[in-house]
A = this chain, B = another copy of it.
Amino acid sequence: MAKTRSRVGLTMQELALSKVYCLLEPGPVVFMTTAVGARRNIMTMSWHMMVEFTPPLVACVVSRANYSQAALRKTRQCVLAIPTRELATQVVAVGNCSGAEIDKFQAFHLTPLPAACVSPPLVAECYANLECRVVDARLASKFDLFVLEVVKAWINPACRAPKMIHHRGFGEFVVDGEILKLKSDKP
């Protein structure tokens, strides 16, 4: 575990769990990685939201049509990895094929890194990586909806002013633009 942590530490810096919402609340496209034994997989996902600040809880929809759902149900672990706009091509490529047929990490030149607390891998090229466990699956049967707890969070400190992308359907994305700072008491 110490070795795992130090390998992650080469490129990633731990982020306080209380700051995770700042990454997901704006609604970026994310990757979700899963693993069953040595068989890892990665999918693209936009249907997620924050549910609680601390410990950070995140709801997401992983359709039964996605190969990843069975792994998520079986292992109850995943990683949410947040790409920047430089990875837009891979975001689309990962979203347009199935892990049932290929190893998407290899096919699209994404680098899996061992996580600290869960089996699914981090994605080295992403700005942030969130190690998660499923804490509620009551709405999985009806809505494919899972509630996750983020148990460890990493960001890449070398990535300054990262720009995320937000999906509008059929490969159209809006990229993060101008930053507005208004006075507000609310987190």
Interface residues of A (CB under 8 A from B): 21-22, 25-28, 46-52, 57, 59-61, 85, 88-89, 92, 95-96, 136, 138-139, 142-145, 147, 163-187
Contact = CB atoms under 8 A, between A and B. Distances in A.
B136 A166 contact: no
B167 A175 contact: no
17 contacts: A26-B168, A47-B49, A50-B61, A51-B145, A57-B143, A59-B143, A59-B145, A85-B180, A88-B180, A136-B142, A136-B143, A139-B139, A143-B147, A170-B185, A171-B181, A171-B182, A175-B179
A183 B92 contact: yes
Contacts of A22: 168-169
Contacts of A96: 184-186
A33 to B, nearest CB: 18
Nearest to A138: B138
A46 to B, nearest CB: 5
Nearest to A163: B177
A26 B47 CA distance: 9
Which interface residue of A22, A49, A92 has the most chain B CB atoms within 10 A? A49
Contacts of A60: 49
Given A49-B61, A59-B61, A170-B184, 16 more contacts: A21-B169, A25-B47, A26-B167, A26-B168, A26-B174, A47-B51, A51-B143, A51-B144, A57-B143, A136-B139, A163-B177, A170-B186, A172-B179, A174-B177, A175-B177, A175-B179
